[in-house]
């Protein structure tokens, strides 16, 4: 049996290291309206090229049922499509109005959302989400006094009151009332979880209104509190550079990049400062400042697992600042996580061409095309990027990942090699490249090269990635155990992996398989039964459990597990072995396998090796 394919979770882990600081930035802390970024240049396919947009039904009941089903499935585009027709047909049903309103917000259709909000407020003047949407519309239209009136304190709950307080402060700034703006922000003082918002947005407002000393003090305090939050680092550095403190700005970016080694925004801005170039303000208007509030809180929603709230906040943020690249990237990743791949592609495609995130977004589009099963389009898209820039490591890695996911392991290893060849000195953030190449080489039958890469990955993986370390240890340990070499060392590596990731079903399976190979069958039963609880449909785990049941005399249960393994699409080599075990039992199947292997070795010897 083979050392298992590294799970896709590690792929996303690498992405987090490179670009995912957007979501973490503050977590410690549309006429049928244009979709986010409308009017911006687009390179790739549009939404209606990628999926069929449903047509509304003729009846109220048909549209209602279709909207409900689409909403339940998380398809915001379809849901909003049906609710638009319903909204035009029925306007006196409060429950329908509210459902339609939320669907419009989630899909970024602010024209319909604001119309629905107005009707909801006629029925329920205290509806806080409708008031928020209308206030955002007011800020966008420079009706700052009206926005403040809508956002008066009213006991809406912690998140709503935090949102309202921050937006009211920006609305005061929009009226040039800097003292009121800062006094409003300082109402958050004393709430530990709100302090970072008070410091950060107070600094942004002070900077925009020319209160340099206040901005300097608050930016410094915000950076001290959150030196690894990109939004804060970026705003601080931009301010410091404009304040004549380029060295402090450079130091802030360098500190951030110690953790997020390849973040494109930090790298691009650091390079610009080192070249003596100037950077614009982080926030240059009230709309952008209010957008930053909503983007930050949307990111918090993602961290808290509240996807719908996050989706709505990000859509509102983009209504105020359609070119907010971090909000666009975060929204696209959220849509991807909800399996709305076509909508995610469209959103990635609207990231401005002059943004440091644009190149990475185009690579993400290639991966999403693969998920949409547009395999030729995916490869063609990525190959076109590489043709334009042979040094685009992210595109090369994406193409390698696609080959690996398609189980084209020699081709994947070759592409990973192209990416590794672009590295002058491997850094901690490069561990995944060596890990994936090692896994691809192992699956290609080149264990010695694979082992070297896996050991290199183990040397590079940072302490801040215990799950990554666990996966590498598990891969090496399982490979040794499965090949009946270095059994004790393999067992020790698997045990260390268990300490780092005690609830990982694959690692628990490896531990059980190590006990099996060491002849400790009762221990193997215990661990493999634990593994099957985590991975009930994994063909390898079921096969392993069948083997150990056979060894302890539970032969009927063994056959049941092998049948389950066959039903869950095992690898071809494994399928052949499982079928033989079902036919003749484990002992005779293993004896036949050993005889076949010995015959192959003899044949090779006769042929001169």
- Tokens 């959220």 appear where? 334
Least confident of 83-87, 251-255, 420-424, 555-559: 83-87
% of the chain with per-residue pLDDT over 90: 74
pTM for the structure as a whole = 0.81
pLDDT at 597: 61
16, burial (CB in 10 Å: exposed 0-12, middle 13-18, buried 19+): middle
d(CA 92, CA 103): 17
Q: Which positions ≥6 away from 462 have C-beta within 8 Å?
A: 428, 431, 468
Which DSSP helix (H) or strand (E) runs through 464?
Answer: none
Question: Is 383 part of any domain?
Answer: no
Residues, the chain: 609
Are 481 and 463 contacting, i.e. CB atoms less than 8 angstroms apart?
no
Q: Which of 262, 263, 224, 218 is nearest to 243 (CA)?
A: 218
Are 549 and 542 contacting, i.e. CB atoms less than 8 angstroms apart?
no
Which DSSP helix (H) or strand (E) runs through 530?
Answer: helix 521-534
Question: Is 165 part of any domain?
Answer: no
Predicted confidence (pLDDT) at residue 155 exceeds the cutoff of 70: no
Q: Which positions ≥6 away from 334 have C-beta within 8 Å?
A: 302, 307, 310, 311, 314
Question: What would the pLDDT profile of 286-306 be if each residue is shown by its tens digit?
Answer: 999 999 999 999 999 888 888
Question: What would the pLDDT profile of 159-213 be if each residue is shown by its tens digit?
Answer: 568 999 999 999 999 999 999 999 999 998 878 889 999 999 999 999 999 999 9
Mind giving me the DSSP string for 311-330?
A: HHHHHHHHHH-TT-HHHHHH
DSSP state of 269: H
Are 224 and 248 contacting, i.e. CB atoms less than 8 angstroms apart?
no
d(CA 366, CA 278): 33
Predicted confidence (pLDDT) at residue 450 exceeds the cutoff of 80: yes
DSSP state of 490: H
Mind giving me the DSSP string for 350-407?
A: TS-TTSTTHHHHHHHHHHHHHHTT-HHHHHHHHHHHHHH-TT-HHHHHHHHHHHHHTT
pLDDT at 19: 34
How many domains does the chain divide into?
1
pLDDT at 464: 87
- Mean pLDDT of all residues belonging to the chain: 88
Question: Is 589 part of any domain?
Answer: yes
- Tokens 């009121």 appear where? 180
Q: Which positions ≥6 away from 93 have C-beta within 8 Å?
A: none
Question: Is 342 part of any domain?
Answer: no
d(CA 34, CA 360): 23
Predicted confidence (pLDDT) at residue 1 exceeds the cutoff of 90: no
d(CA 454, CA 519): 27
Mind giving me the DSSP string for 70-124?
A: HHHTT-HHHHHHHHHHHHHH--S-HHHHHHHHHHHHHHT-HHHHHHHHHHHHHH-
Provide the 3-class DSSP secondary structure of residue 489: helix
pLDDT band at 18 (very low <50, low <70, confident <90, very high): very low
Are 211 and 178 contacting, i.e. CB atoms less than 8 angstroms apart?
yes
pLDDT band at 603 (very low <50, low <70, confident <90, very high): very low
Question: Is 583 part of any domain?
Answer: yes
Least confident of 243-257, 473-487, 579-593: 579-593
Residue 104: φ, ψ to 5°: -65, -45
Predicted confidence (pLDDT) at residue 61 exceeds the cutoff of 70: yes
d(CA 215, CA 209): 9
pLDDT at 192: 82
Mind giving me the DSSP string for 400-446?
A: HHHHHHTT-HHHHHHHHHHHHHT-SS--GGGHHHHHHHHHHHHHTT-
**Mean pLDDT within 20-48:** 40
d(CA 460, CA 469): 9
Find the farthest-apart pair of alpha carbons in the chain and give their distance in angstroms, rounded: 91
d(CA 300, CA 309): 10
- Two structure tokens written together for 58: 């003729």
404, HSE (Cβ side, Cα atoms, 13 Å) = 29
pLDDT band at 45 (very low <50, low <70, confident <90, very high): low
Predicted confidence (pLDDT) at residue 408 exceeds the cutoff of 70: yes
User: Residue 407: how many CB atoms within 10 A of its CB?
Assistant: 12
Q: Buried b vs exposed e over 526-548: b needs ≥16 C-beta within 10 Å?
A: bbbeebbeebeebbbbbbbbbbb
Predicted confidence (pLDDT) at residue 35 exceeds the cutoff of 50: no
445, HSE (Cβ side, Cα atoms, 13 Å) = 0
Are 99 and 87 contacting, i.e. CB atoms less than 8 angstroms apart?
no
pLDDT at 595: 65
Question: Is 556 part of any domain?
Answer: yes
Question: Is 580 part of any domain?
Answer: yes
- What is the torsional sign of CA 327, 330, 334, 340? positive
- Two structure tokens written together for 71: 């909403």
- Tokens 């921050």 appear where? 166
Segments forming the whole domain that contains residue 594: 536-609
d(CA 302, CA 476): 34
Q: How far apart are the first and last CA of the chain?
A: 24
Question: Is 365 part of any domain?
Answer: no
pLDDT at 94: 87
Are 540 and 509 contacting, i.e. CB atoms less than 8 angstroms apart?
yes
């Amino acid at each position: 049996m083979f050392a298992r394919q590294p799970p896709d979770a590690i792929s996303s882990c690498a992405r987090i290291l490179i670009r995912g600081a957007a979501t973490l930035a503050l977590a410690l802390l549309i006429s049928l309206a244009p979709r986010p970024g409308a009017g911006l240049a687009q390179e790739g396919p549009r939404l209606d090229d990628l999926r069929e947009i449903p047509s509304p039904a003729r009846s109220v009941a048909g549209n209602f049922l279709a909207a409900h089903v689409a909403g339940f499935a998380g398809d915001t585009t379809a849901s909003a499509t049906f609710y638009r027709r319903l909204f035009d047909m029925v306007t006196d049903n409060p429950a329908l109005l509210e459902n339609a309103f939320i669907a419009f917000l989630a899909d970024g259709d602010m024209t319909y959302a604001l119309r629905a909000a107005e009707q909801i407020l006629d029925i329920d003047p205290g509806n806080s989400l409708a008031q928020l949407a209308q206030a955002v519309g007011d800020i966008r239209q420079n009706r700052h006094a009206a926005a403040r009136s809508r956002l008066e304190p009213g006991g809406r709950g912690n998140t709503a009151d935090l949102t309202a307080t921050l937006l009211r402060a920006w609305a005061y700034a929009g009226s040039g009332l800097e003292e009121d703006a800062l006094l409003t922000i300082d109402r958050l003082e004393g709430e530990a979880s709100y302090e970072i918002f008070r410091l950060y947005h107070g600094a942004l407002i002070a900077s925009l209104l020319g209160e340099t000393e206040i901005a300097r003090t608050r930016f410094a305090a915000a950076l001290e509190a959150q030196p690894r939050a990109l939004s804060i680092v970026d705003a601080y550095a931009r301010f410091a550079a404009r304040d004549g403190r380029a060295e402090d700005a450079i130091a802030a970016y360098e500190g951030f990049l110690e953790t997020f080694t390849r973040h494109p925004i930090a790298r691009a801005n650091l390079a610009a400062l080192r070249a003596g170039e100037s950077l614009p303000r982080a926030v240059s208007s009230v709309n952008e400042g209010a957008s930053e509030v909503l983007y930050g809180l949307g990111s918090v929603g993602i961290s808290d697992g509240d996807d719908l709230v996050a989706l709505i906040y990000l859509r509102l943020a983009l209504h105020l600042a359609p070119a907010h690249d971090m909000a666009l990237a975060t929204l696209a990743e959220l849509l991807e996580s909800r399996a709305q791949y076509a909508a995610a592609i469209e959103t990635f495609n609207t990231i401005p061409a002059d943004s440091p995130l644009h190149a990475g977004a185009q690579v993400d589009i290639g991966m999403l095309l693969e998920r949409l099963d547009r395999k030729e389009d995916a490869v063609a898209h990525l190959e076109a990027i590489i043709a334009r820039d042979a040094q685009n490591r992210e595109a090369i890695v994406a193409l390698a990942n696609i080959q690996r996911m398609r189980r084209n392991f020699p081709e994947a290893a070759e592409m990973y090699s192209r990416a590794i060849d672009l590295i002058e000195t491997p850094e901690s953030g490069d561990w995944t490249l060596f890990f994936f190449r090692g896994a691809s080489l192992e699956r290609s039958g080149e264990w010695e090269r694979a082992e070297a890469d896996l050991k290199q990955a183990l040397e590079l993986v940072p302490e801040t990635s215990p799950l990554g370390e666990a996966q590498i240890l598990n891969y090496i340990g399982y490979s040794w155990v499965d090949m009946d070499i270095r059994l004790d060392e393999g067992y020790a590596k698997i045990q260390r992996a268990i300490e780092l990731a005690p609830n990982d079903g694959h690692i628990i399976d490896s531990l059980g398989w190590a006990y099996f190979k060491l002849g400790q069958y009762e221990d193997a039963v215990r661990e493999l039964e634990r593994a099957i609880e985590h991975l009930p449909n994994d063909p390898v785990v079921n096969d392993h459990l069948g083997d150990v049941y056979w060894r302890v005399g539970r032969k009927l249960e063994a056959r049941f597990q092998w049948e389950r393994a066959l039903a869950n699409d095992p690898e071809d080599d494994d399928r052949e072995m499982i079928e033989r075990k079902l036919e003749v039992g484990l002992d005779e199947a293993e004896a036949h396998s050993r005889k076949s292997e010995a015959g192959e070795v003899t044949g090779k010897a006769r042929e001169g090796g």
